[in-house]
Each structure stands twice: as structure tokens, then as C-alpha cells.
């Protein structure tokens, strides 16, 4: 560090003219670079607009900034080489060579980084191949892992080339604080990966936890967004959701209809028997009601009257259609009771469970 400080002081003290020329060369080339590259990009983009293939647009978008960075790095490199030849300081040449190497790696990694963004070529190809939304959400997690890996590679290259190991070791408590701050982010990232890979739910599913119930709208690497039935949007950290007990109502293959009817005490045993038999026959013949486990029987006596227990499953899953199915069953039961001249107890309590 002292050596670098001494070189800078010597350059300012003994090579002021050379420094000014170097700065002018850098400024001139930057102006030329901006004009030439901007003109070149405009020409290329004009040609690409005429093309139906969107692949070209994505390539240009991915390499535009890295190419500008690469040209800037070359300008700085040749300027430092000129400064070295004028002053003879070997440290300047070594710094220029290391800087150029790091810049090339940085630009290359930058291009790969851009190819992993949501509007990139890879994402578009995945979108065409994977029409299922559940498969599409895997991409952001793979993408963030690749991006983190790229950033780590760049940091390691810079540390190695410029020998900054001592600097990072000296961070001490500061590094520990950064690690603790990143802990929550990493736990959410891994929680999101568990959700995507284990698939306890998918986008569009109706889920319920101890704290929230609603429709899953979005799954990101940090959180999951759920739209409640009150139309509020709730954002839950993935780490919390991954460890929660989740009921996924969307993954059931049938719904349960379960309730009791209490008939008045004036109902005769014959009418009660007829009601049970006719309700059972109607339910077994109703389209949409499965024959998996249908229970319709005279369940017992209560203070209000005679209790009929009705238990069945329907393969109608969508909520609105499910409500129509219950309505159909209820109307058929009501018609039977009217036909038999039977009345429901005034104090009757009908329970319907999902």
C-alpha cells in the first residue's frame, strides 16, 4: 500500500505532463468509443428490428453493457501501458495486466449473468418448452444460484489477482455482521427452493396455514404472495412458510358433503323409512356424486325429532360448481320430504362441512 502511495506521489511530482497526456488520451478514446459504439449499436438494432427472430434482440441486450465495459477496460489498459513506458514503473504494467485480466473475466461473467435474467434467451426457451407454471417458477431459483456463483467467482478472482486476502481478513467483526445480515436472505432462498422442489403447493392453489388462507399468486426466491378471500395480498417469507403446516385444498381429488337433517316428531316410521331409502337412491344416482362412501341412515333420536345422517363425496372440485352440486342435492332432498309430507324440525341445525 505504501509502495502504491509512493508511486502516485512520484507521478504527480515528477511526471505531471505525462499524467495530463494520459488523462487526455483516456478522455479522447472514451469520447470516440461512445460515438462509435452508439452508432454501431443503432445500426445493428435497426437491422435487428427488421428480423422476425427475437433471439438477436436478446443477444444484443445481453452483451451491450459488457462490450462497453470491455472497451473501457482496453482504453485504460493501453493508457497505463503508455504511462509505464514513459515512467518505467513496473508496478503500473503489473497493475494494467491484472486489471485487464479481471476486466475480461468480469465482462464474460456479466454476459452469463444477463443470460440468466427473466427476460433473457434462456428464460424464453424455458417458457416455450414449459407451459406449466409450476415448472417456470424453477427458473428464478436456478438463475439466482447461478448469479450468486458468478458474483463469488468475480470476487475470488479480484482477491487473488490484487492479493486482497489480508483486507478481507481484517474485516473481522464487519464480515461477521454481513454474514448475519445475509442469513435471513439465504434461509428464504433455501426455503423457496424447498417449496419449488418439494411442491407442497403451486401458483393458483388454495392453501391454508395456521395464520393465512388464500390463493397462491407468486413464488419468488425471497417470499410467497397469497391473495386472501378478503382480496388482501399477503407476503410471507419462504423460510417461515417452508416450516409451516400447510393444507392444500387444491390438491384434493374430491370434496366431502356432510350434514344432518332432523325431522319433526310427528313423522311416522313408515315415512321416515321411505325418506331414508329415497334420499339414498337419489344421491347414488346423482351425477357428480361418487359411490366411494355414501352413508344415508336414520342416525338416532334427539329432543327435536328424528335425525337423518347424510355423508357423501363429490368429484366436483371447483368451488362454484361444488356449491351448485350441494344446491342440487338439497333441492332433491327437499322434494322428497315434501312428497312424503314430512316436515323439518323447527329447531333443526343443519351442518355442512367441507
User: Is 217 a residue whose pLDDT tops 80?
Assistant: yes
| Final residue in a domain of this structure, among 114, 134, 163 | 163
Share of the chain above pLDDT 70, in %: 76
Q: Where do we find the cell 438477436?
A: 56
- Does the residue 51 lie in any domain? yes
More confident residue, 172 or 332: 332
| Predicted confidence (pLDDT) per residue in 296-330, tens digit | 999 999 888 999 999 999 998 888 899 999 999 99
The domain in which residue 283 lies consists of 252-340
Mean pLDDT of 180-194: 72
- Does the residue 351 lie in any domain? no
Identify the pLDDT of residue 263.
Answer: 92
Q: Is the domain of 152 the same as that of 240?
A: no
d(CA 34, CA 67): 11
Classify burial at 314, counting beta carbons within 10 Å of its beta carbon; exposed 0-12, middle 13-18, buried 19 or more.
buried
Q: Is the domain of 110 the same as that of 73?
A: yes
- Does the residue 345 lie in any domain? no
d(CA 345, CA 306): 9
**Whole-structure pTM value:** 0.54
Q: Residue 351: which pLDDT band, with cuts at 50, 70 and 90?
A: very low
| Predicted confidence (pLDDT) per residue in 108-165, tens digit | 888 877 776 555 555 555 555 544 555 556 666 677 777 777 778 877 777 777 666 6
Spatial CB neighbours of 301, under 8 Å, sequence gap ≥ 6: 307
CATH number of the domain that residue 287 is part of: 3.30.70.100
| Predicted confidence (pLDDT) per residue in 21-47, tens digit | 778 878 887 787 777 777 777 777 777
Contact 276, 298 (CB under 8 A): yes
| Final residue in a domain of this structure, among 230, 249, 268 | 249
- Does the residue 264 lie in any domain? yes
CATH number of the domain that residue 195 is part of: 2.30.30.60
**DSSP three-state, residue 167:** helix
Mean pLDDT of 275-287: 92
| Final residue in a domain of this structure, among 249, 276, 308 | 249
d(CA 219, CA 226): 9
Sign of CA dihedral 222, 107, 64, 29: positive
Mean pLDDT of 195-211: 86
Strand-by-strand arrangement of the 206-208 sheet: 233-237, 223-228, 213-219, 206-208, 247-248
- Does the residue 13 lie in any domain? yes
Identify the pLDDT of residue 304.
Answer: 85
Q: Is the domain of 296 the same as that of 323?
A: yes
Widest pairwise Cα distance in the chain: 119
Q: Is the domain of 148 the same as that of 184?
A: no
Q: Is the domain of 84 the same as that of 210?
A: no
Identify the pLDDT of residue 24.
Answer: 82
d(CA 280, CA 285): 9
Report how many domains make up the chain: 3
Q: Is the domain of 145 the same as that of 197?
A: no
Amino acid at each position: 500500500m505504501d509502495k502504491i502511495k509512493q508511486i502516485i506521489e512520484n507521478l504527480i511530482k515528477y511526471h505531471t505532463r505525462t499524467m495530463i497526456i494520459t488523462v487526455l488520451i483516456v478522455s479522447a478514446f472514451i469520447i470516440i468509443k461512445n460515438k462509435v459504439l452508439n452508432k454501431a449499436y443503432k445500426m445493428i438494432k435497426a437491422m435487428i428490428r427488421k428480423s422476425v427472430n427475437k433471439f438477436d434482440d436478446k443477444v444484443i441486450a445481453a452483451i451491450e453493457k459488457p462490450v462497453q465495459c470491455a472497451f473501457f477496460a482496453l482504453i485504460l489498459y493501453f493508457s497505463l501501458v503508455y504511462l509505464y513506458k514513459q515512467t518505467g514503473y513496473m508496478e503500473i504494467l503489473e497493475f494494467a495486466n491484472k486489471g485487464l485480466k479481471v476486466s475480461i473475466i468480469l465482462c464474460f461473467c456479466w454476459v452469463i449473468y444477463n443470460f440468466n435474467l427473466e427476460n433473457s434467451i434462456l428464460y424464453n426457451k424455458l417458457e416455450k418448452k414449459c407451459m406449466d407454471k409450476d415448472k417456470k417458477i424453477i427458473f428464478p431459483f436456478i438463475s439466482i444460484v447461478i448469479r450468486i456463483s458468478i458474483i463469488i467467482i468475480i470476487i475470488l478472482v479480484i482477491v487473488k489477482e490484487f492479493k486482497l486476502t489480508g483486507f478481507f481478513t481484517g474485516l473481522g467483526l464487519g464480515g461477521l455482521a454481513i454474514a448475519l445480515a445475509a442469513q435471513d436472505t439465504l434461509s428464504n432462498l433455501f426455503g423457496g427452493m424447498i417449496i419449488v422442489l418439494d411442491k407442497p403447493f403451486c401458483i393458483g392453489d388454495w392453501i391454508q396455514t395456521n395464520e393465512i388462507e388464500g390463493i397462491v399468486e407468486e413464488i419468488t426466491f425471497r417470499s410467497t404472495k397469497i391473495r386472501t378471500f378478503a382480496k388482501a395480498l399477503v407476503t410471507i417469507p419462504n423460510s417461515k412458510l417452508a416450516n409451516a403446516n400447510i393444507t392444500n385444498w387444491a390438491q384434493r381429488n374430491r370434496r366431502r358433503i356432510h350434514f344432518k337433517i332432523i325431522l319433526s316428531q310427528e313423522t311416522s316410521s313408515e315415512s321416515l323409512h321411505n325418506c331414508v331409502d329415497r334420499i339414498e337412491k337419489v344421491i347414488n344416482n346423482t351425477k357428480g356424486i361418487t359411490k366411494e362412501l355414501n352413508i344415508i341412515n336414520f342416525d338416532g333420536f334427539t329432543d327435536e325429532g328424528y335425525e337423518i345422517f347424510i355423508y357423501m363425496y363429490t368429484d366436483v372440485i371447483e368451488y362454484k360448481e361444488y356449491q351448485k352440486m350441494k344446491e342440487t342435492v338439497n333441492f332433491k332432498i327437499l322434494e322428497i320430504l315434501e312428497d312424503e309430507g314430512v316436515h323439518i324440525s323447527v329447531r333443526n341445525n343443519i351442518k355442512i362441512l367441507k
